[in-house]
Structure 1
């Protein structure tokens, strides 16, 4: 569509405030005009399919599963990045913050020194024009890690960073208040329970001291570079108070209604996982996304570990939560995450914004991506 006028007609448009039958015109990668009813001239006929803005994903762990598909296995970095990008675009995501773990876990998990190789593959793909989606970087910083501050400082000196999240997965608090849930999580790769318990004891012993040093250092680094901050798995009012003092902008997956409520009242945007909504609850036994949506506390959904869940959750939300309109639900995966990260040129179907668009058809009760455009160019 770039470089000429292109019309998309006979569409069910999900606009910021309503759903309407209509059309839009794209010029040079941007939405030039939006209208209701019949288009002024013929164009691409969507046959009544739904047209929504391109999805904006702030937290997906899925890249690492392409790079490390099995314990001890590493795939070609560029090949992994491109396979991941294809899956992201096919899920309707046109802007993605690739979540990369910074900081080596005491049990040896995480990317460690391989973080730079994966980031370089992302930079190479971007520089060569190979990407379908627009890729930005979200550094997931494990604050109890001995090397996290040095790792983030070195990374930020080489690569752009669009978001930093402060994470503490020490068992016994935040996401893993129930230590038995942590044992299940840590044992996914078949690790012996004795090794898991030994590592857990070590994490509990050292976690608080490491976190006390590293978290302030990461906050200072983010401020120096004007990088938005997210706090991961806030659970208590004390957690939220600390986030407020740090000028955190985004509450990622608060684990309790209490923390979500306090974050919302403090002006911190609350994000929950789309899989949580689809599955009907948290796999870690924490607060349900639907409960927060019903309470008016949910602003953003993230696909977390299943890219396709983002679109499914946006269309499921109005069905599960009375009073949640389709435009409001779509905004949780488009306009709201774009706004939270300062991307004001996308996330809505409106004149002047970037033509990031997704054609959706409902099939057997679920939304199916049929076509995807980024800046007016078809990418899936």
Structure 2
């Protein structure tokens, strides 16, 4: 990409909108004009979106069970969707779970290998996150080596076993559907869940040891769906300093007060609340307890959520956009992006000022997406 000076647009700087030009040289923001000027009057120029957690890529990798055999082609299609939604850095969250199927170990192995192998051929910066079910004790010994082989630098722990129903002798909800996806009979799948549930007393100490090993490897860690302050404190003690989608204000407040990062889902904001009745992200943002918003399962939502927050007066545009750019970048330790200031990467999303749709996306000054009339501005 040649050196460029983007002029005439409203530019979102850390302290608000400005009409100052944005100059790009060798993939970085610089503080003086450098090249050909491109008039972007009628557009908004904002920092590229950093998506801290998303599993929307699944539909690109396997639209139907067994239908997609070439993971790399699915990731190419996924990148196109990411770029079209202004996402310049994306964390792809892949399960390893007792649920099996697309959340099983074999599928995860293929996904992580594909991300590792194809990433250098894409413009969007992809990162892999392992979402690991805490009761898979048989995998604990080998997991650190697997993580190293996969090139995964971020692990988040989940416990989605329906312990209450298993303890009460009731069949889990959605048992038949889960068994089908896992390739097991309902009876076998239920027995497997019961076996994992029966070993729950061994899990805390095993997690202590596993997290200590991952900490020594330099792995970033988080917990998912924290419900209590005590639970969040246990994860913090293990070195898991990211609280993903806390379910209660108590857990979110405990994380925030201890200096842990709190992540919520953008669809929660767009919908006006959690789809499953959990904590409202808008409430948490208004209280100052949210550090970042993620796509979760819907890639258009980070942009929409930030704009909705500003429109509703929950916070100003700079604060709202921080939740989808500099905020998540800081959680990942990526301090070279997230703001349009000299020296930072030229990770940029350009919105049509009237429709606020994504017109163009740049990653380190390279075009990852461009559509519509804006293209004429660059090819004159």
Distance 1:59 1:120 in 2: 18
What CA deviation, in whole Å up to 9, does each residue of 1:202-249 have, x standing for no partner? Answer: 278336236325422331232111111111110012111112212322
Residue 242 (str. 1) matches residue 242 (str. 2): no
Preserved contact between residue 55 and residue 334 of structure 1 (Cα < 8 Å): yes
- RMSD value, Cα: 2.9
Partner of 2:336: helix, strand, or coil? coil
Instruction: Find the partner of 2:87 among 89, 93, 98.
Output: 93
Q: Where does residue 266 of structure 1 map in the other structure?
A: 258
Q: Which residue is equivalent to 1:206? A: 198
Q: How far did residue 40 of structure 1 move? A: 9.8
Unaligned runs of 5+ in 2: 165-169, 370-380
TM-score (norm 1): 0.86
Q: In structure 2, what is the Cα distance between the partners aligned to 1:368 and 1:147? A: 47
Structure 2 partner of 1:344? 335
In structure 2, the residue matched to 1:155 is 146
The equivalent residue for 1:19 is 17
1:135 corresponds to 2:133: no
CA gap of 1:169–1:53, structure 2 versus 1, over 3 A, is same
Written as runs of structure 1 = structure 2, the 5 A alignment for 1:1-380 is: 1-2=1-2, 5-33=3-31, 43-102=37-96, 104-105=97-98, 110-127=103-120, 129=121, 131-150=122-141, 152-171=143-162, 183=173, 198=190, 202=194, 205-206=197-198, 208-209=200-201, 211-322=203-314, 324-362=315-353, 367-380=356-369
**Aligned equivalents of 1:231, 1:118: Cα separation in 2:** 21
Looking at structure 2, the residues matched to 51 and 152 of structure 1 have their Cα atoms a distance apart, in angstroms, of 42
Unaligned runs of 5+ in 1: 174-179
Q: Give the direction of change, closer, same or farther, for the CA distance of 1:88–1:224 in structure 2 (3 Å limit).
A: same
Residues 90 and 106 (structure 1 numbering): CA distance in 2 closer, same or farther, change over 3 Å? Answer: closer
Structure 1 residue 18, shift from structure 2 partner: 1.3
Per-residue Cα deviation, 1:65-104 (whole angstroms, up to 9, x for no partner) = 32222245444211111111111111111111121213x4
Q: How many residues align?
A: 361
Local SS of the residue matching 1:360: strand
Q: Distance in 1 between matches of 2:362 and 2:80?
A: 13
**Secondary structure, counterpart of 1:373 in structure 2:** strand
What is the CA distance between 1:295 and its match in structure 2? 1.3
Give the 3 Å change call, closer, same or farther, for CA 195–308 of structure 1 in structure 2.
farther
Deviation digits for residues 167-206 of structure 1 (CA, Å, limit 9, x no counterpart): 1112258xxxxxx9x83698599889x7799479627833
Contact 1:263 1:270 in 2 (8 A): yes
Distance in 2 separating the partners of 1:211 and 1:311: 39
State which drifts further: 212-221 or 340-349: 212-221
